[in-house]
């Protein structure tokens, strides 16, 4: 009878420890020369958007700067209804929410609520 070999060759290599954990992008070296944009070369995002919008035929008017964000309870108070009814309006696509942060807090723009109230059908 033959002896079994002490070393068994594996067909699939084990994953290396350095390949298991990827570093997050925010941990990269910020002072690396290839990653630093030059100020005259890369415009700020707002300017970049303005330049892109200048050439487009459909310019969207900007939102009002004093637009407040409202919680569900505040919207329910404005519409004189329950919080659950506001949730149903969101699920039906009648109201638009703005999601903030990692926690996923949903808020409403005051201008969107005023627009919704303005376009409600008249009660007869």
Look at residue 79 in the predicted model and tell me its pLDDT: 92
Residue (of 82, 116, 81) closest to 97 by Cα position: 116
What are the angstrom distances between the C-alpha of 65 and each of 10, 26, 68, 83? 63, 30, 9, 27
Write down the pLDDT at residue 81.
94
Q: Specify the pLDDT at position 99.
A: 81
Question: How does pLDDT run across 60-115, given as a tens digit for each residue?
Answer: 566 555 578 999 999 999 999 999 999 999 999 999 898 887 777 889 999 999 99
* Tens-place pLDDT, residues 16-45: 655 555 555 555 555 655 655 555 555 556
Q: What is the pLDDT of residue 122?
A: 80
pTM: 0.45
Q: Give a three-class secondary structure readout of the chain.
A: CCCCCCCCCCCCCCCCHHHHCCCCHHHCCCCCCCCCCCCCCCCCHHHHHHHHHHHCCCCCCCCCCCCCEECHHHHHHHHCCCHHHHHHHHHCCCCCCEEECCCCEEEEEHHHHHHHHHCCCCCC
């Amino acid at each position: 009878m033959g002896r079994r070999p002490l070393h068994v060759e594996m067909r699939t290599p084990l994953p290396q420890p350095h390949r298991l954990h990827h570093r997050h992008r925010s941990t990269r070296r910020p002072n690396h020369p290839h990653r630093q944009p030059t100020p005259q070369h890369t415009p700020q995002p707002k300017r970049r958007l303005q330049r892109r919008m200048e050439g487009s035929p459909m310019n969207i008017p900007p939102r009002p700067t004093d637009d407040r964000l409202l919680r569900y309870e505040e919207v329910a108070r404005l519409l004189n209804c329950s919080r659950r009814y506001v949730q149903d309006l969101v699920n039906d696509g009648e109201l638009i929410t703005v999601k903030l942060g990692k926690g996923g807090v949903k808020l409403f723009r005051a201008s969107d609520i005023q627009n919704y109230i303005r376009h409600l059908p008249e009660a007869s």
